[in-house]
């Protein structure tokens, strides 16, 4: 639907005005003057237009549009007739003709003209003659013109090549000059209640929806100074829909020429104050539009509300024979899928019908054991929304919501209606909503004076409830279906996100971010390390980041909830009570009642925190593998409750989150163990060798691996002698790392026992073969190093199947420093020998594993020649610089991550340093 409304002034498009109000080609209904004798009509002072799609729900939306428009103009006297006629004409267009419908409302001084146009001109229009026959009144379609003839003061039909338009004119009743609406004189005890000082907040909203005016009464009502709210969008403060006046939202309502209804405004304390509002769209001399909002507290709505409510005893009908019962006007008004609008209008009409001070409507849960408050009006607070009460509150018929009940005075039966405790209501009548004998809800109205209602009022309310029950249940089922679809999508997305990480801290953050603000206003996650540990506050999140620190400080001061493994959400009152006490103490200190008066910037933070956690707080256990590993705490701001469907969704989420959190914990523990074991396979540190520079670079392949099949070692054997080794076990991963540990520790033990290089490797070969099926072949370069006094170094090396060590001389030449010999772990009898190498000052010995030489990019491989070419460029570099240049060359050779372990051992003899 698209709408456009304009306040006073001439129409904005070339629509007929003045004596052109009636179209050229028309069929004139009863009461219409002949075309030549028509009197000049008054100038149009306002217009409202809307277009409706060719779908069934458009009929209800069109009725709501016309009703709200005429009530906004103050024409309540003709609303019923206008709605009935519009409904029939729009039905003809969108249902029977199957085209879109355009509705135009024109206001003049003496009446309202409504035009309904469709785009199906081929439809047969009955001709009018002296013997007019409108067909069978009981047939499905075609009653629109029949009703126009019966109800409208004038009506007609206009044809064009592309559309057909039916219009009707409703004259306003005669009133005294200057009177817009009036009510009878009433005794004082029947006048509406208001505080001694009625405050009317005046708020002006610019075209962008931002506040640009805020009067003193607004400051008193809501606690904000003007400078705090000027420039902020009204939507930041509004709790919508509290009482929607249309099937849209507050943004759309601010665009209407006039609107009246209820919603909530969140005050500086965090509380939502129910207000009754009257909006008027105006424009300044420059044509800039804005909306003026008059606001009073909801229970003082009589100050602004028009038209006046119908008396409970007024059951008469209008002269045209139409019932004035407000439910007659109401039925079908909201769109079928607008459950909140349907419920809120139901309670408003029920209150008006019985001239009550408040009304409320509760819907039954799926198991029919509890009722959930879904709409209320006239109650002093919105805290009741989504609050739950048992269906069976006590013994007898008055303790069950399944039967009508009338309480003449609630003070005589305290607690009979928990919903009304502390509200000042004395008399109440409640009736069930049933569909096919099944309880679906409960509707009640209440008054502040006792003895207001009897069985007669209960019968009237039950009749209305029976008429609306099916529509409510249908809309509720539609809402549940949409919610369940959304819940399924939400849980699928949540599962994907939780499964995508094994990091504990990230899992905690995801848990909180998925619940806020989708399920709750704030969230806290407690974790339990083991059964002997107390719950620990691990993560806190609030939809307003400025509230997180205050919330965390508050929760840190109170005992955590008990880790009860019972599934489901349970209410936790401690945060709200602690916040209330802290706010009370702070307020008393600021007033000097609890000690010396102080003015502290922390007062605002304390009060804001109290408002943030003052609503319902629930705790859901995080249970994984039959153990409570934490608690998920969800909270609402002051006076707000969780709806049952949200709690069920949160319970499903908590089960998934608990398993993800426990998986992250197990992964972290196993990773820590693995890394600790892997680190034990590497040398703790490299020894300092006088006269020799040593540098090692090690890279294990695979995520999370610190040690693989490659290894290195450098250790002292005896005074002046050092052993070094670099090897490669077949394969990678834990199996290769096990052989790595065996080789490294065996080398140290055998070398320190005095065995030479060949003997050390032969005994290591036997140890590897003794491993049987777990054995793996091993390539190994082992050597012993003796630094010399002249600045050189002597090495004795054995190269058992390993890539040959390379010697870089000072002149840039590179040559192998050993001969190849058989690898280990294959044959029992090995005949190995050692070779002696002398490193002159400035020489470098480079030892690598095959992960370096076999680095590949497609079909290319770095190889021994490529390694030699890189080493040739390292003349004059330190051992560290040589190792770094080799690694850099290996990494740049290919773009993919290395698939094999790599180790680089570089030793350089710098020579004697001159003084």
- Which band of pLDDT confidence, cut at 50, 70 and 90, is reported for residue 402? confident
Backbone angles phi, psi at 623, to 5 degrees: -110, 125
Nearest residue to 251 (alpha-carbon basis) of 232, 235, 272:
235
Least confident segment among 189-198, 433-442, 538-547, 691-700: 189-198
Residue 193 half-sphere exposure toward CB, CA atoms < 13 A: 14
Q: Which two tokens stand for residue 236?
A: 């930041």
CA 770 from chain centre, in angstroms, equals 62
Instruction: For residue range 446-491, list pLDDT tens digits in order.
Output: 988 888 888 888 888 888 888 888 888 888 888 788 877 877 888 8
In the predicted model, is pLDDT for residue 5 greater than 70? no
Q: State pLDDT tens for residues 659-713.
A: 888 888 888 888 777 777 667 767 778 888 988 999 999 887 766 555 566 888 9
Of 739 and 294, the one with more pLDDT: 294
Task: Give the residue among 841, 791, 843 at the shortest CA–CA distance from 817.
Answer: 843
Indicate whether 203 pLDDT > 90: yes
- C-alpha 735/C-alpha 725 separation (Å) is 20
Model-level pTM greater than 0.75? no
- 602-613 vs 548-557: helix axis angle to the nearest 10? 80
- pLDDT, mean of residues 135-151: 59
Secondary structure of residue 473 in the 3-state scheme = helix
Of residues 805 and 188, more confidently modeled: 805
Strands (E), 145-200: 154-159, 164-171
Whole-number CA gyration radius for the chain:
43
Which H helix or E strand runs over 648? helix 644-680
Element of type H or E holding 695: strand 693-699
pLDDT mean over 56-74: 78
Helices and strands, counts by H and E, the chain: 19, 35
Is 384's pLDDT higher than 80?
A: no
| Contact (CB, 8 A) for 824 and 761 | yes
């Amino acid at each position: 639907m698209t709408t456009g409304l304009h306040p006073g002034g001439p129409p904005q498009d070339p629509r007929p005005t003045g004596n052109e109000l009636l179209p050229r080609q028309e069929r004139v209904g009863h009461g219409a003057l002949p075309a030549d004798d028509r009197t000049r009509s008054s100038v149009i002072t306002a217009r409202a237009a809307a277009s409706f799609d060719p779908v069934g729900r458009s009929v209800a939306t069109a009725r709501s549009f016309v009703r709200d428009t005429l009530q906004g103009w103050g024409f309540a006297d003709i609303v019923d007739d206008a709605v009935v006629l519009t409904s029939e004409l729009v039905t003809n267009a969108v249902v029977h003709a199957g085209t879109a419908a355009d509705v135009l409302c024109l206001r003049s001084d003496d009446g309202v003209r409504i035009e309904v146009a469709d785009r199906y001109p081929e439809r047969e229009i009955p001709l009018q003659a002296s013997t007019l026959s409108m067909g069978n009144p009981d047939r499905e379609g075609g009653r629109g013109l029949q009703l126009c003839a019966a109800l409208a003061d004038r009506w007609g039909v206009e044809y064009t090549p592309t559309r057909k338009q039916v219009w009707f004119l409703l004259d306003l009743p005669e009133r005294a000059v200057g009177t817009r609406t009036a009510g009878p004189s009433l005794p004082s005890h029947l006048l509406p209640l208001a505080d001694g000082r009625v405050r009317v907040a005046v708020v002006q909203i610019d075209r962008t929806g931002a506040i640009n005016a805020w009067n003193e009464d607004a400051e008193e009502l809501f606690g904000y100074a003007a400078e705090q709210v000027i420039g902020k969008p009204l939507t930041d403060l509004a709790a919508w829909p509290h009482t929607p006046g249309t099937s849209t939202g507050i943004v759309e309502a601010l665009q209407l020429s006039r609107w009246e209804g209820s919603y909530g405004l969140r005050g500086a304390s965090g509380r939502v104050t129910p207000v009754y509002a009257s909006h008027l769209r105006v424009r300044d001399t420059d044509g800039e539009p804005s909306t003026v909002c008059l606001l009073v507290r909801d229970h003082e709505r009589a100050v602004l509300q028009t038209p006046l409510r119908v008396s409970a005893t007024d059951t008469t009908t209008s002269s045209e024979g139409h019932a004035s019962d407000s439910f007659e006007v109401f039925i079908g008004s909201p769109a079928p899928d607008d459950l909140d609008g349907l419920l809120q209008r139901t309670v408003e009409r029920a209150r008006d019908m019985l001239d009550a001070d408040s009304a409320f409507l509760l819907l039954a849960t799926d198991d029919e054991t509890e009722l959930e408050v879904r709409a209320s009006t006239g109650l002093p607070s919105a805290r009741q929304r989504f609050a739950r009460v048992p269906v069976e509150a006590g013994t007898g018929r008055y303790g069950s919501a399944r039967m009508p009940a009338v309480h003449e005075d609630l003070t005589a039966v305290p607690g009979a209606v928990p919903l009304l405790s502390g509200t000042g209501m004395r008399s109440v009548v409640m009736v069930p909503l049933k569909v096919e004998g099944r309880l679906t809800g409960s509707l009640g109205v209440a008054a502040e004076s006792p003895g207001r209602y009897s069985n007669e009022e209960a019968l009237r309310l039950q009749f209305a409830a029976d008429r609306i029950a099916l529509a409510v249940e249908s809309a509720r089922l539609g809402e549940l279906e949409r919610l369940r679809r959304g819940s399924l999508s939400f849980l699928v997305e949540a599962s994907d996100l939780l499964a995508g990480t094994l990091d504990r801290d990230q899992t905690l953050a995801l848990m909180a971010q998925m619940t806020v603000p989708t399920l709750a206003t704030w969230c806290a996650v407690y974790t339990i390390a083991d059964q002997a540990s107390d719950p620990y506050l691990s993560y806190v999140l609030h939809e307003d980041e400025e509230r997180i620190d205050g919330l965390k400080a508050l929760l840190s001061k109170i005992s955590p909830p008990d880790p009860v493994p019972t599934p489901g959400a349970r209410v936790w009152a401690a945060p709200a009570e602690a916040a209330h006490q802290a706010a009370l103490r702070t307020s008393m200190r600021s007033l000097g009642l609890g000690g010396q008066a102080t003015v502290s910037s922390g007062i605002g933070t304390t009060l804001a925190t109290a408002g943030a956690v003052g609503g319902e707080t629930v705790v859901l256990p995080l249970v994984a593998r039959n153990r409570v590993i934490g608690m998920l705490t969800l909270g609402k701001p002051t006076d707000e409750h969780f709806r049952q469907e949200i709690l069920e969704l949160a319970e499903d989420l908590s089960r998934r989150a608990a398993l993800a959190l426990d998986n992250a914990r197990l992964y972290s523990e196993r990773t820590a163990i693995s890394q600790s074991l892997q680190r034990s396979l590497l040398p703790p540190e490299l020894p300092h060798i006088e006269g020799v520079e040593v540098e090692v670079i090690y890279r294990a392949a695979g995520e999370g691996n610190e040690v693989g099949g490659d290894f290195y070692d450098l250790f002292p054997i005896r005074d002046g002698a050092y052993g070094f080794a670099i090897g490669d076990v077949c394969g990678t991963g834990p199996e290769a790392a096990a052989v790595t540990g065996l080789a490294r520790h065996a080398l140290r033990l055998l070398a320190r026992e005095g065995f030479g290089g060949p003997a050390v490797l032969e005994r290591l070969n036997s140890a590897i073969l003794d491993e049987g099926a777990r054995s793996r072949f091993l390539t190994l370069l082992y050597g012993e190093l003796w630094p010399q006094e002249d600045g050189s170094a002597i090495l004795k090396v054995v190269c058992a199947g390993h890539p040959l060590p390379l010697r870089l001389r000072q002149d840039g030449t590179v040559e192998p420093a050993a001969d190849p010999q058989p690898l280990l772990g294959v044959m029992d009898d090995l005949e190995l020998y050692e070779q002696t190498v002398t490193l002159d000052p400035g020489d470098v010995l480079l030892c690598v594993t095959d992960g370096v030489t076999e680095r590949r990019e497609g079909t290319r491989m770095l190889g021994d020649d490529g390694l030699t070419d890189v080493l040739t460029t390292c003349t004059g570099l330190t051992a560290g610089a040589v190792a770094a240049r080799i690694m850099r060359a290996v990494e740049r050779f290919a773009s993919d991550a290395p698939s094999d372990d790599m180790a680089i051992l570089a030793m350089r003899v710098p020579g004697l340093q001159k003084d």
